[in-house]
Structure 1
Amino acid sequence: MSFDTPLYLCGPLREPRQMLADQEYSGHTSIHDNDMAEKLGFKAGPIEGPTHFSQFVPMLAEIWGQAWFERGCFSAHFQNMVVEGEQVRAFVERPAEGATRVRAWAEKADGTPVLEASASLGPDHGETLLDQRMRKLRAPDKLVILAELREGMAGAEDEPVRMDADKHMGNLYPFSLNDKLERITENSPWYSEAGSSPWGRAIIPLEMVSVLAEYSSKLAKFPVKQPVVGLFADQEIRMVDGPLFVGEEYLIRREIVALSESKRTESYWVRSRIYDAGGTVLKAEMLLNHATLKHSYPHYEEEAG
């Protein structure tokens, strides 16, 4: 007997932890600080979006095995914020045999959507969710906060980065990988024990690739007006020659690939390419939509005219 009923994998309800309450950038606290979030009209400081990516990894590893960590791509649009204490469940479409792309999403315990995503296995990912979203972007009428940015603008310099297990990741990420592994929703010995990993080395968890990629982002010197508060609205992490390893030197090059605007935000989309230490072998990429909140910039109305 056969059916055409779509089936899905789902994980358990988890309570992701807030680890960015003390985050600082450009001399001020971020939206993850409760007081700052309340000033901006949110009920509390949200948990960082890529924290939720970890809940998908066991299901994607079940579908594609070791190859997921080497050539996988997770492309997500964040829909609603989650605060500490709320429960989240992840879902992944069960693929047909041989399929290399699936739909994925996360919900709060009451069914409120958290994010929608595509997950795919390279090298041919087809059109990811963020490819689709970028294709439909509305051209900005007049940018204020991002007035000095241009599509194609490259970061000011190559950025050497490294994530050691006990390395504090700075003001943007005031914790270490070891700190994260004490609170991560889905832990694995592959993240901390070299001998258990198929590659003979500890690998950086999917959600911590975001930390590695953003750790040195101030070196890009993109001229975003300050003070301003932003958030992650869309994010894609793609392994090209993965995984990325704990304690390994990498080199990051950045490029602004799109500018967009909504009623409340001005956005700049940055593609960060992560190379080996010599800058010749592309290992991974991250596409990130930095959405800056218009009303967080004190001169917005005046400069908008």
Structure 2
Amino acid sequence: MASETLVRTETLAGGWVKPRNRWQGAPNSIHSDAVAKKIGMRGGTIPGTVHLSHFAPLMNELWGERWLRQGSISMFYTFATLDGEQVRAVVERPPPGAGEDVQLAAWVETPEGRKVCTGTVAVGRPDATAYVRGLELVNAGREEIRILDNMSPDLELLDKPDYVVKDGGDPDGVIRDPQMMYRALQPYTPGVTVTDAVGFFGATEVCLRAGPIRTGIPYRKTARVVCVGASPKTEFAWFDSELRDEKGTLVAEMRHMTRWMKVSSPKWTT
């Protein structure tokens, strides 16, 4: 994770990094070259959530520990990168006179200026709606759904009263990396994992309401489907998940979207 920060007039930009594809060779995975190229991608892709990590040094510089208590990162993934391709995180600088509650435009870019993901980061309780939360969710008609025929809006996926986050914390158990926050809030269960189609992440929004998230502490973790939709090339589902402490306080919540390629599924190709 790069700590170098370049200060410019209107933005803060993190140092260039080269994420590695640690999922190369996974079966039926868009992260594998052979699978990805078969469905029209350039090669095995870096998961979108990896790029959330690039913002951690900028969030620390802007807001320090406060971001871990009441912060958010909200990204819509727009361009898939490959193993070792350079990227960096960029955040709009707070305007003069910005108060303690502020939301800023943010994105990850390539050296050519292509945006890998775009959205917002925030601290406190700003009036503005986070980027992903502001997107309209449109359910598809059931006749348009084949891959995700076992999903429906409001379907409860899990309710774990003694869920413990085991990985990703610092020596004090505090999770500081937004990618690891995603993993703590990951909504999937075996019953909704789609194995006959190739999936990839479309958007992720993590909101810390009474953070930080910590390892080794029991939470009640819940997740549900909030939208099942379709585009010409994909089917997709939106998920909401939460972590609550033993008192019922909302510690963190996430809205996440995954897409599945129609061309990769026998339900669309046969």
**TM interval, short-chain normalised:** 0.7 to 0.9
Counting aligned pairs with the same residue, the percent is 26
Number of aligned positions between the proteins: 258
- TM, length-normalised to structure 1: 0.77
Distance in 2 between residues matched to 1:49 and 1:21, nearest whole Å? 15
- Determine which of 250, 255, 259 is the counterpart of 1:287: 255
Q: Shift in Å at residue 260 of structure 1?
A: 1.8
**In the alignment, structure 1 residue 266 sits paired with structure 2 residue 235:** yes
Give the counterpart letter for 2:16 in structure 1: L
Matched, 1:251 2:220: yes
What is the rounded CA distance, in whole Å, between the counterparts of 2:179 and 2:39 in structure 1? 26
Aligned-partner SS, 2:68: helix
Structure 1 residue identity aligned to 2:213? L
The residue number in structure 1 matching 2:54 is 55
Distance 1:161 1:36 in 2: 34
Secondary structure, aligned partner of 1:235? strand
Equivalent residue, structure 1, for 2:24? 21
Q: When you count helix as a share of all residues, which structure comes out higher?
A: 1
Determine whether 1:233 maps to 2:202: yes
**Secondary structure of 1:299's aligned partner:** helix
> Matches of 2:123 and 2:174 in 1, distance apart?
21
Summarize the alignment of residues 153-172 of structure 1 with structure 2, pairs less than 5 Å apart.
153-158=155-160, 160-165=162-167
**One-letter amino acid of the counterpart of residue 57, structure 2:** P
Partner of 2:188: 217
Kept after mapping to 2: 8 A contact 1:204/1:246: no
* Alignment map for 1:2-41 (pairs within 5 Å): 7-21=10-24, 23=26, 28-41=27-40
Q: 1:137-170 CA deviation, whole Å, 9 max, x = no partner?
A: 44424212123422111115437443435xxxxx
The corresponding residue for 1:115 is 117
* Aligned counterpart, 1:198: none
Residues 96-175 of structure 1: pairs in structure 2 closer than 5 A: 96=95, 97-98=98-99, 100-124=102-126, 126-133=128-135, 135=136, 137-141=137-141, 142-158=144-160, 160-165=162-167
Give the TM-score taking structure 2 as reference length: 0.86
The runs of at least 4 aligned residues of structure 1 exceeding 4 Å deviation read none
Higher mean C-alpha deviation, range 51-60 or range 227-236: 51-60
Q: CA deviation at 1:75?
A: 0.6
